[in-house]
Amino acid sequence: MFTGCRDIDKLIAGKTAILFYGEAGIGKTTMLLTIASNVCKEIYPCIYISTEDTLHYERVARDPSRFENVFFEEIWEFEDLVEYVAKVLAFTPYKVLFIDSINSLYRLVAHKEEAISTYGFILGLIWRRTLDLEGYWFASAQVRAGYREEDEEIVASGMPILEYWFDPIFYMTYSDGERVVKVVKPKSSIERRYIVTEEGIEWIS
């Protein structure tokens, strides 16, 4: 069991890189922590890299036994992420990797020369390492507002690169006032509703 939702878990099974993206407060971190608590009891070692804040420590402290096989790391600079991937992950025999979020640090340096090529390089390095280890890589991604044909569209920052490396991709958003997960890649009509609780993600449809 990954997320606890059978239809979504079927899409995840056997894949290498899995992405959840959505606006702030939609429950991306809770989703990754839910997966970690479900998966890392049986598949480990697990590494959870946070690039945003330390809020996850409060959640982990509520029931640390659920995360006893998870090693938590904090990385605040894009250059430090590149170094960690090249010098630590490349030589660490992990089975499950979480990065929350995968694009927050890239957003800060996207304007710099060679940033996009460096970003693509580390994504490829992580993907290859995870594949070689026969593991799983789960990531969240922040979004920005874009515009297409005068209609507002919510897309993840650096989405073209993310689409290349991640499959499946899930969009977490609101629909009729409820939180919902939509399948973006592969294209699917599957939508599942959920709520965010202190225990994690709870599915309601």
What gap in Å lies between CA 139 and CA 29, rounded to an integer?
9
Q: What tokens were used for 15?
A: 């894949």
Question: Which superfamily is assigned to 6-203 in CATH?
Answer: P-loop containing nucleotide triphosphate hydrolases (3.40.50.300)
Single-letter amino acid code for the residue at 111 = H
> Which of left, alpha, beta for 149 (phi over 0: left; psi -120 to 50: alpha)?
left
Q: What is the mean pLDDT of residues 2-19?
A: 98
Averaged pLDDT of the chain: 91
The phi and psi torsions of 102 (rounded to 5 degrees) equal -80, -20
Q: SS3 string of the chain?
A: CCCCCHHHHHHHCCCCEEEEEECCCCCHHHHHHHHHHHHCCCCCCEEEEECCCCHHHHHHHHCHHHHCCEEEEECCCHHHHHHHHHHCHHHCCCCEEEEECCCHHHHHHCCCCCHHHHHHHHHHHHHHHHHHCCCEEEEEECEEEEEECCEEEEEECCHHHHHHHCCCEEEEEEECCEEEEEEEECCCCCEEEEEEECCEEEECC
Domain ranges of the chain: 6-203
Give me the residues paired with residue 179 across strands.
174, 194
How confident is residue 111, by pLDDT bands cut at 50, 70 and 90?
confident
Give me the residues paired with residue 141 across strands.
21
pLDDT digits (tens, 9 = 90+) for 51-90: 987 667 788 888 899 999 999 999 999 999 999 999 999 9
Of 60-64, 65-69, 146-150, 152-156, highest mean pLDDT: 65-69
What gap in Å lies between CA 156 and CA 168, rounded to an integer?
14
pLDDT at 148 over 50: no
What gap in Å lies between CA 179 and CA 120, rounded to an integer?
31
Report CA Rg, the chain: 16
How confident is residue 108, by pLDDT bands cut at 50, 70 and 90?
confident
pTM of the model: 0.93
Q: CB-based contacts of 104: which residues, under 8 Å, 6+ apart?
A: 51, 52, 142
pLDDT digits (tens, 9 = 90+) for 113-131: 888 999 999 999 999 999 9
